[in-house]
Amino acid sequence: MGDWTASADDLIVQGPSLGDAVYERLVDDLIALKIPPGERLSVDKLARRFGVSQTPTRAALIRLEAEGLVVKKHLTGYSVAPLPSVARLESIFEMRALVEPRSAARAAEHATPGQLAVLKEIAAEMQSLSREDIDAHCARLVVLDSRFHTAIAEACGNDLIAETLGRLFTQMHIFRLRYHANVGHAVIEEHVGILEAIIDRDPPRAEAAMLAHLEAARERLEPHVRHAV
């Protein structure tokens, strides 16, 4: 499983969400390409590296498989999924640009108090990361980014839109690109702008803010994807 070895920093402190901790640590490694595309993933080696049992390690890998970050083949086990093409990136963003701005506008109209509370909670956690070292919380920001967009899709009042966007968000995880500090702050500010428009029940502003965010995200990602593939 490559030439990287475990260190004291890799050990995960036992807690109630051990599977989540293993998942986020692996997401961080995948984003940073510490574990390269195609690399075999041994459940036993990962468990020993993180100082946990195989149960939360398997749970994390199953979750990553569902999100397309790892693949599982008969007899050979788990391995890191290959990076998709630039054309695939363009296709995903084209689809998101067609659907997500409208989803945000509908969320501004239909979001319940409970759904707004979820969005506020996610945005607040993002903002707390902006006051820390974003580079050290790369995986967490990726997870929060996905949760934020998923929550908007769920608040739009259209189950089919939520289902369609859910598949696209999963594929976006495959573009394992590190949020460095400057990018991380920009991403957080863009999410806050979208949320403020939804809270203000302003569909046109929510739609415009989401479209601007997606265009900025595509511009940030594309050069790195071209270099990676």
**How confident is residue 225, by pLDDT bands cut at 50, 70 and 90?**
low
Token output for 227? 């270099």
Q: What is the CATH number that goes with domain 86-228?
A: 1.20.120.530
Choosing among 1.10.10.10, 3.20.20.105, 3.40.50.150, 2.70.70.10, the CATH entry for 8-80 is: 1.10.10.10
Cα 85 to Cα 196: distance, rounded to the nearest angstrom: 34
Query: Pick the residue with more confidence: 169 or 147?
Result: 147
For residue 23, the number of C-alpha atoms closer than 13 Å in the C-beta half-sphere is 21
- Residues making up the chain, counted from first to last: 229
Query: Do the Cβ atoms of 203 and 105 come closer than 8 Å?
Result: yes
What confidence tens digit (pLDDT) does each residue in 142-166 have? 778 888 999 999 999 999 998 888 7
Query: Pick the residue with more confidence: 9 or 140?
Result: 140
What confidence tens digit (pLDDT) does each residue in 68-123 have? 789 998 888 999 988 777 888 888 899 999 999 999 999 999 999 999 999 999 99
Q: Which of 89, 72, 90, 94 is nearest to 81 (CA)?
A: 72
User: Which pLDDT belongs to residue 9?
Assistant: 63
For residue 78, the surrounding DSSP H or E stretch is strand 77-80
Alpha-carbon distance values, 212 to 81, 159, 168, 187, 225 (Å): 30, 24, 18, 11, 20
Alpha-carbon distance values, 15 to 12, 18, 129 (Å): 9, 6, 21
What confidence tens digit (pLDDT) does each residue in 54-83 have? 999 999 999 888 877 899 988 889 999 887
Q: 40-41 and 70-73 as β-strands: parallel, antiparallel, unpaired?
A: unpaired
What are the residue ranges spanned by the domains of the chain? 8-80, 86-228
User: Which pLDDT belongs to residue 167?
Assistant: 73
Q: Which of 149, 144, 128, 153 is nearest to 179 (CA)?
A: 144
Query: Do the Cβ atoms of 115 and 176 come closer than 8 Å?
Result: no
Cα 19 to Cα 7: distance, rounded to the nearest angstrom: 19
Alpha-carbon distance values, 215 to 81, 87, 109, 138 (Å): 26, 16, 23, 21
- Residues contacting residue 30 through CB under 8 Å, at least 6 positions apart: 64, 69, 80, 176
User: Which pLDDT belongs to residue 179?
Assistant: 55
Cα 189 to Cα 100: distance, rounded to the nearest angstrom: 18
Cα 22 to Cα 118: distance, rounded to the nearest angstrom: 24
Alpha-carbon distance values, 13 to 34, 63, 187 (Å): 21, 20, 29
